[in-house]
């Protein structure tokens, strides 16, 4: 997959991993990140990708804008985090394909808190819309008390790979269609110039 980060160019990421670190960084998210990199993909994971001094929101928002797909790993404390919900809302608003993984939680158990009035109602509504959309997207569910971690990681990786192939094909198709219409437009324009001249 394409990736560039030299000479001031924007970094392109294959997949943005949205998660609550305290619940998932040392298990599903860490394992998924390493498995994706073994497949020569470029996943964005805050703890692996960002450096001291990086601006948190700027880098995360840029990574979301410049990723092909997202993976949202929902866990019991996910909705306690403004950062998680902001990332999810940004992913959903950018119309990226998002693959939900529900770890030790059911979609129906996910609810946006009021954060003790620290955020505007408009922001909370934004979070609720994104969470609702994610909850009604087909994803993977996993119960860590009796689930097979390697099976989950293999399934998630395969879904990511299939989704990236689909996204790349759609992008390629758009480029072909755009090139076709540009040629048609130039041809029509030159015919118009000839007939006027």
Counting every residue, how long is the chain? 197
Q: What pLDDT is attached to residue 119?
A: 85
Distance from chain centroid for Cα 122: 22
Q: What pLDDT is attached to residue 118?
A: 87
Is residue 2 left, alpha or beta, with left meaning phi > 0 and alpha meaning psi from -120 to 50? beta
d(CA 46, CA 54): 10
How many C-beta neighbours within 10 Å does residue 195 have?
7
Structure tokens at 98: 């998002």
Residues annotated as catalytic (active site), given as ranges:
87
Residue keyed to tokens 């219409």: 181
* Side-chain half-sphere exposure of 180, counting CA atoms within 13 A: 6
**What string of pLDDT tens digits covers the 197 residues of the chain?**
444 444 445 689 999 999 999 999 899 999 999 999 999 999 999 988 888 998 888 999 999 999 999 999 999 999 999 999 999 999 999 999 999 999 999 999 999 988 878 888 999 999 999 999 999 999 999 999 999 999 999 999 999 999 999 998 876 656 566 655 566 556 555 655 565 65
Report yes or no: 98 and 68 within 8 Å, Cβ to Cβ.
Answer: no
Overall CATH class of domain 13-171: alpha beta
Q: What pLDDT is attached to residue 61?
A: 93
Q: Which residues, other chains included, contact 161 with Cβ-Cβ below 8 Å and sequence gap of 6+?
A: 39, 41
């Amino acid at each position: 997959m394409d990736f560039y980060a030299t000479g001031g160019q924007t970094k392109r990421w294959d997949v943005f991993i949205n998660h609550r670190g305290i619940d998932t960084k040392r298990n599903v998210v860490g394992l998924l990140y390493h498995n994706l990199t073994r497949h020569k993909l470029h996943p964005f994971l805050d703890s692996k990708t960002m450096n001291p001094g990086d601006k948190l929101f700027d880098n995360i928002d840029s990574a979301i804008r410049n990723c092909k797909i997202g993976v949202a790993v929902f866990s019991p404390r996910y909705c306690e985090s403004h950062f998680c919900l902001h990332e999810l809302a940004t992913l959903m608003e950018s119309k990226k394909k998002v693959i939900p993984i529900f770890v030790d939680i059911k979609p129906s158990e996910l609810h946006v808190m009021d954060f003790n009035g620290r955020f505007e109602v408009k922001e909370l509504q934004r979070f609720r819309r994104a969470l609702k959309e994610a909850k009604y997207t087909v994803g993977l569910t996993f119960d860590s008390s009796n689930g097979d971690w390697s099976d989950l990681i293999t399934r998630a990786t395969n879904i990511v790979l299939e989704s990236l192939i689909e996204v790349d094909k759609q992008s390629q198709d758009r480029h072909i269609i755009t090139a076709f219409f540009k040629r048609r437009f130039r041809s029509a324009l030159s015919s118009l110039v000839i007939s006027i001249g």
